Amino acid sequence: MNSTSSEMGRKIRATVLTAVMALIHFLMTAAMAADWPQFRGPGGLGISMDEDVPLTWGPAQNLVWKVALPGKGASSPVVAGERVFLTCYSGTLDTVRRELLCMSQTDGSLLWKTAVPSKLPEGRISRGDHGYASSTPVVDGERLYAFFGKSGVFAFDLDGQPLWQADVGGELHEWGSAASPVLFGDLVIINASTESASLIALDRQTGRERWRVIDIQEAWNTPLLVPVNGETELSNVTSPVYHAGHLYWMHESTGIAHCVDAKTGEFVYSERVDRAGEVYASAVLAAGRVYYQERGGRTHVLAAKPSFEVLATNDLEPRGLFNASPAIAGGRLYIRSDAYLYCIGG
């Protein structure tokens, strides 16, 4: 590559970075601290504007409530107003039963639950703990949209009444289905890589297909919409959060927390967090802290700054399997295991 091409490439990268940073700034300032409407919260960035999120908690500290769930799942909770929504499943390949739950943000009491029809039999998942309720729903204030792999995409009103269902493919994969729906304009966008090797946009009101991009191979990630052309590739499972010019994430299996300069791509630190186990949940950021939820139940809280500092390590009992990413709303953390939903608050 000659110097002219190299300089042009540098300018393009700088332009893309500036556009992305501008979008992140816009989404952060526009985000409502009270709600967490989709996977990784407002804009899908994993960032909360709440400043009073607890630093420490445990079975006898800052635990507002804990409720048992009627089924397992890796989907994250979403919060809209005074309600918390969650999906779960129970049963075997031939009897999988999925449910959409609505709980009170105040005390965790069940307001309603709706059974979601499944197309059976389901496929066998080689990693059985991934399960059949891995996609996080998204809520827009009037409706809730949920994705259940080959069983399709469903729209409900906020009282749990079904509005429409759309098929996006019937193929199966040994790792199951996981990508969460996102909203854009009047569209619901679905990464149906597993089901039909496609990225599909559905009409919010009717569920009718509006457009499709094909040949999306083996992608389990939830789309993040940015108004630029370009691509980024980071860690295998967890997604990073951006704060003050740096990206933060934890490796899924080594327990190593990373900080990277977002402008240069250079690693600022890569440090092993004491007692950290496997991490499937993506990091969330609030009050100048990065929260890393590990699969065994511990949450490691690190300072969101370009120097390694562990602020707290928190445990929840009884332990279970924690694959879901935390939600933050109204100064509270909502943490989901395969057995319980926990509400952590000051």
- Residue 319: pLDDT band with limits 50, 70, 90: confident
Give the count of domains, the chain. Answer: 1
DSSP state of 124: P
At residue 128, the pLDDT reads 60
**CA 179 to each of CA 188, 192, 278, 313: distance values in angstroms, whole numbers, following the listed order:** 13, 8, 20, 29
Q: Could you tell me which residue, 30 or 45, shows the higher pLDDT?
A: 45
Q: Which of 6-15, 60-69, 187-196 has the lowest mean pLDDT?
A: 6-15
Q: How does the average pLDDT of the chain come out, rounded?
A: 88
CA distance 315 to 300: 9
Residue 131 parent element (H or E): none
Q: Tokens for 183?
A: 């909203």
Strand partners, 286: 289
Residue 25 lies in a domain: no
Alpha helices per DSSP H over 197-307: none
Does residue 238 fall inside a structural domain?
Answer: yes
Residue 150's CATH number: 2.140.10.10
Answer yes or no: is 18 within a domain. Answer: no
Run of H or E residues at 5: helix 3-30
Does 69 reside within a domain? yes
Question: In which band, very low, low, confident or very high, does the pLDDT at 218 lie, cut at 50, 70 and 90?
Answer: confident
Long-range pairs for 226-231 at CB < 8 Å and ≥24 separation? Answer: 226/19, 226/20, 226/23, 227/19, 227/23, 228/15, 228/16, 228/19, 228/20, 229/16, 230/16
Asked whether residue 86 is assigned to any structural domain, the reply reads yes
Establish if 10 belongs to a structural domain. Answer: no
Burial of 180 (0-12, 13-18, 19+ CB in 10 A): buried
Domain that holds residue 323: 31-344
How many helices and strands, by DSSP H and E, does the chain display?
Answer: 2, 24
Q: Which residues of 101-114 are buried (b: 16+ CB within 10 A; e: fewer)?
A: bbbebeebeebeeb
Which residues are within 8 A (CB) of 215 and not within 5 positions of it... i.e. 6 or more apart?
A: 197
What's the rounded Cα separation, in Å, for the pair 332 and 338?
20
Kindly state the tokens that stand for 117: 């029809």
17 in any annotated domain:
no
Answer yes or no: is pLDDT of 223 > 90.
no
How would DSSP label each residue in 21-48?
HHHHHHHHHH--TT-B-STTSGGGS-B-
Over 60: is that where the pLDDT of 145 sits?
A: yes
Give 191 or 19, the one with higher predicted confidence.
Answer: 191
In order, the DSSP letters of 56-103 are: --BTTBSEEEEEE-SSB--PPPEEETTEEEEEEEES-TTT-EEEEEEE
In a domain, 23, yes or no: no
